[in-house]
Amino acid sequence: MTRIKICGLSRPEDIRAVNEARPDFAGFVIDFPKSFRSVSHQEVRELGRGLRPDIVPVGVFVDAPVDTVAELFASGTIRVAQLHGQEDEGYLAALRRAAPGLTVWKAYTVRSGTDIAAAQGSGADRVLLDNGQGTGETFDWSLVRQVRRAYILAGGLTPENLPAAVAALSPWGVDISSGVETDRVKDPDKIRAAVQAVRGQP
């Protein structure tokens, strides 16, 4: 079954909404001021403490120091690191040494088959295929058919198009953020609808 991650949580109200909807993963954009969804280390610790234990907390990072990611994992604040910057295989190797047991996802912006090939060769545990950083738009999903490993689909997903995406592509997971927002704020009704759409519930 396709898993679902609700990303960009930044308020206690967001935690209450995901606890009710029960997605598989909850994502926090950590120390990335360019994003209005960014939270500090202290904020993510406080938010994470309110998360249901069966929802996996994911830290979303952009070229963060390895020690920063490792410390958040060691403290139990995150269980998955999702990397959205220029992190290369050397960075991944250093992160694995610093944080044994950490699950690592690497995001790739998809524009062509070359991007798919790069994702195919990644040493990350999972790759995330996206249109870019929070654009809210989809990319050419026909390119995904070339992927021969488990991947997470992101970019432009909404409760309305999730059923078609899951049916057509059968991704390992889907990642949604702006698609469950109203006026740039997480919408509990849209979060609930997104989870239900992925799980085939009415």
Residues across the chain: 202
Of all residues in the chain, the percent with pLDDT exceeding 70 is 96
Give which of 195, 179, 174 is closest to 21, Cα–Cα.
195
pLDDT in tens, 188-201: 999 999 999 999 86
Give the active site residues. 7, 130
pLDDT in tens, 12-44: 999 999 999 999 999 999 999 999 999 999 999
- The half-sphere exposure of 76 on its side-chain side, counting CA atoms within 13 A, is 5
Terminal CA-CA length for the chain: 16
**Is 124 in contact with 146 (CB distance < 8 Å)?**
no
Q: What's the gap between Cα 73 and its chain centre?
A: 16
pLDDT in tens, 122-176: 999 999 998 865 556 678 888 888 888 999 999 899 999 999 999 999 999 999 9
Element housing 153 (H / E): strand 151-154
pLDDT of 74 over the 90 cut? yes
Report the distance separating Cα 85 and Cα 107, nearest Å. 8
CATH architecture of 3-199: Alpha-Beta Barrel (3.20)
pLDDT in tens, 98-131: 999 999 999 999 988 899 999 999 999 999 998 8
- The half-sphere exposure of 176 on its side-chain side, counting CA atoms within 13 A, is 29
pLDDT of amino acid 136 = 63
Element housing 151 (H / E): strand 151-154
Where exactly are the structural domains of the chain? 3-199
80-83/56-61 β-pairing: parallel
Report the distance separating Cα 181 and Cα 67, nearest Å. 32
> 69 in the Ramachandran plot: left (φ > 0), alpha (ψ -120 to 50) or beta?
alpha
